[in-house]
């Protein structure tokens, strides 16, 4: 059981959605009987499941035995191979020769590959992998330049520096990327003083000593220390994100009515809190729920704004009938 839903129920819901897909084309309604709309969360989720089970044990085991590298993120995988192309295709065909994965694999072979925002290649053909930021030559004529105005220029520069450290495997590659970053921001109209001061601030945040003349790092050791701190920061951010998502499950977002006087608003909020505590505060599924008030602005909000994150926590939607009958409470027109 997952969040109150049995596996059979989940499978039935997925089956229902897949069998009830329709599309309008040239003013005619068609039912889609194969595949699904690309980009939908359910479609992507099912695709990732399919790719995961296509990552067969025999393939991974063979790669590990040969001391090769295997990595996967969502629908893309990267593999190193020191044998012949024929041997690799034979191994791959043997490993994924199952009906549900046979048509899902597109192979791209080369000494240099593009993997999301990374470009990975062999360093001087010495058997050592190196990585750097990937740029599409047809789109990224200058790196990190946006056609839209930057609302927070310092934040934008911080973000591209952060990405540069994550993607650059050594100090030489990072220095090359740093030159690209400075060039792109100078071309976009930023002053050299602005660029220099923000790069210094970025260094200092991650424990790098102040650079008075050159923004280049001293050596690989200094860069590796910087990169290790960035990696630790990434891991910490991921943990915080998971904590926020978990906390969000226990949060009920409530739009606050508009009152002329602050005192009336405080009375309303306190009354709502008292009623919630009285009727839901001692129940196992609701006692940990926190109420977050959504203050109204002077500008009228669209209906879509009110619907964002307004669904009650799942535990409130999965109460048994006996528990639902206990949740009878008086309306708030007494306030």
pLDDT for 300-310, tens place per residue?
A: 656 665 555 55
Q: How confident is the model at residue 141 (pLDDT cuts 50, 70, 90)?
A: low
Note the pLDDT of residue 16. Answer: 84
Please state, in angstroms and rounded to a whole number, the distance separating the CA atoms of residues 188 and 171.
26
Confidence bin at 173 (pLDDT 50/70/90):
very high
My answer on whether 115 and 212 are in the same domain is: no
Residues 151, 239: one domain?
yes
235 domain-assigned: yes
Last residue in a domain, options 230, 245, 260: 245
Burial class of 186 by CB neighbour count within 10 A (0 to 12, 13 to 18, 19+): middle
Number of H helices, E strands in the chain: 12, 9
| 210 plus 293 within the same structural domain | no
Residue 92 lies in a domain: yes
- In a domain, residue 47? The reply is no
If one compares 97 and 269, the residue with the highest pLDDT of the two is 269
Do 310 and 330 fall within a single domain? yes
Q: Is the dihedral of CA 128, 133, 134, 137 positive or negative?
A: negative
DSSP 8-state code for residue 209: P
- Alpha carbons within 13 angstroms on the beta-carbon side of residue 293 total 13
Higher pLDDT, 227 or 320: 227
Both 270 and 222 in one domain: the answer is: no
- Whether 51 maps to a domain, the answer reads no
**pLDDT at residue 1 in the model:** 66
Whether 114 shows a pLDDT value over 80: the answer reads: yes
| Separation of alpha carbons 144 and 185, rounded Å | 8
Do 233 and 164 lie in one domain? The reply is: yes
Domain-located, residue 211:
yes
Establish if 166 belongs to a structural domain: yes
The pLDDT score that the predictor gives to residue 112 is 83
Residue 159 pLDDT greater than 80, yes or no: yes
Say yes or no: 267 and 218 in one domain.
no
Q: In this model, does residue 312 exceed pLDDT 80?
A: no
Do 163 and 217 fall within a single domain? Answer: yes
Q: Is the pLDDT of residue 328 over 50?
A: no
Least Cα distance to 46 among 8, 6, 15 occurs for: 15
* Residues comprising the chain, all counted: 335
Does the pTM surpass 0.85? The reply is no
**What is the number of structural domains in the chain?**
4
Is 80 exceeded by the pLDDT of residue 167?
A: yes
| Average pLDDT of the residues in 160-168 | 92
CB 194 within 8 A of CB 171: no
Q: How confident is the model at residue 93 (pLDDT cuts 50, 70, 90)?
A: confident
Strands (E), the chain: 22-25, 28-31, 70-73, 76-79, 112-115, 118-122, 129-133, 251-255, 290-294
Q: Are residues 191 and 139 in the same domain?
A: yes
Q: Is 268 a residue whose pLDDT tops 90?
A: no
Q: Same domain, yes or no, for 156 and 95?
A: no
Q: What is the DSSP string of 32-50?
A: --SS--TT-HHHHHHHHHH
The pLDDT, as a whole number, for residue 257 is 78
- The CA–CA distances, whole Å, from 50 to 46, 63, 140, 168 equal 6, 20, 33, 31
CA dihedral 146, 151, 152, 156 (to 10 degrees): -20
Predicted local distance difference test score (pLDDT) of residue 51: 66
Residue 78 in contact with residue 110, Cβ under 8 Å?
Answer: no
What is the Rg, in whole angstroms, of the alpha carbon atoms belonging to the chain? 27
48 is a domain residue: no
Confidence label for 58 from pLDDT (cuts 50, 70 and 90): confident
Question: Looking at per-residue confidence, does 331 or 120 come out higher?
Answer: 120
Do 143 and 189 belong to one domain? yes
Residue 181 in any domain: the answer is yes
Query: What whole-number distance in Å separates Cα of residue 299 and Cα of residue 284?
Result: 39
Of 104-108, 144-148, 326-330, minimum mean pLDDT range: 326-330
Pick from 57-66, 80-89, 147-156, 273-282: least confident: 147-156
Last residue of a domain, one of 229, 245, 261: 245
CB 175 within 8 A of CB 217: yes
- Together in a domain, 107 and 151: no
pLDDT at 258 over 60: yes
- Is 23:32 a contact under the CB 8 Å cutoff? yes
Domain boundary among 245, 267, 287: 245
The set of residues, in sequence order, having a beta carbon less than 8 Å from that of 120 and lying 6+ positions away, is 78, 112, 113, 114, 129, 130, 131
What pLDDT is attached to residue 150? 55
d(CA 181, CA 192): 12
Euclidean distance between the first and the last CA atom of the chain, given in angstroms as a whole number: 40
Q: Which domain holds residue 84?
A: 56-120
């Amino acid at each position: 059981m997952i969040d109150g839903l049995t596996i059979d129920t989940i499978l039935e819901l997925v089956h229902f959605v897949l069998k009830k897909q329709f599309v309008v084309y040239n003013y005619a309604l068609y039912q889609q009987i194969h595949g699904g709309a690309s980009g939908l969360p359910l479609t992507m989720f099912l695709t990732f499941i399919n790719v995961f089970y296509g990552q067969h044990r025999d393939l991974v085991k063979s790669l590990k035995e040969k001391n090769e590298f295997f990595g996967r993120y969502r629908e893309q995988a990267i593999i190193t191979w020191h044998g012949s192309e024929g041997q690799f295709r034979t191994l791959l065909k043997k490993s994924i020769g199952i009906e549900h994965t046979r048509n899902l694999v597109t192979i791209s072979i080369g000494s240099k590959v593009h993997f999301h925002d990374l470009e990975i290649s062999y360093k001087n053909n010495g058997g050592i992998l190196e990585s750097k930021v990937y740029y599409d030559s047809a789109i990224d004529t200058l790196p990190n330049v946006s056609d839209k105005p930057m609302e927070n220029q310092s934040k934008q520069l911080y973000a591209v520096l952060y990405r540069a450290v994550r993607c650059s495997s050594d100090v030489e590659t990072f220095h090359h990327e740093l030159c690209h970053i400075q060039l792109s921001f100078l071309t976009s109209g930023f002053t050299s003083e602005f660029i220099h001061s923000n790069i210094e601030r970025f260094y200092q945040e991650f424990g790098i000593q102040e650079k008075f003349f050159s923004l280049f790092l001293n050596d690989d050791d200094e860069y590796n220390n910087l990169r290790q701190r960035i990696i630790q920061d990434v891991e910490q951010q991921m943990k915080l994100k998971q904590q926020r998502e978990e906390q969000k499950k226990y949060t009920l977002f409530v739009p606050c009515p508009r009152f002329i006087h602050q005192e009336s608003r405080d009375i309303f909020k306190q009354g709502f809190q008292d009623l919630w505590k009285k009727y839901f505060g001692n129940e196992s599924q609701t006692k940990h729920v926190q109420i977050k008030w959504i203050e109204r602005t002077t500008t009228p909000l669209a209906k879509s704004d009110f619907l964002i994150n307004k669904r009650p926590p799942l535990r409130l939607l999965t109460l048994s009938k006996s528990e639902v009958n206990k949740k009878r409470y008086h309306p708030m027109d007494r306030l």
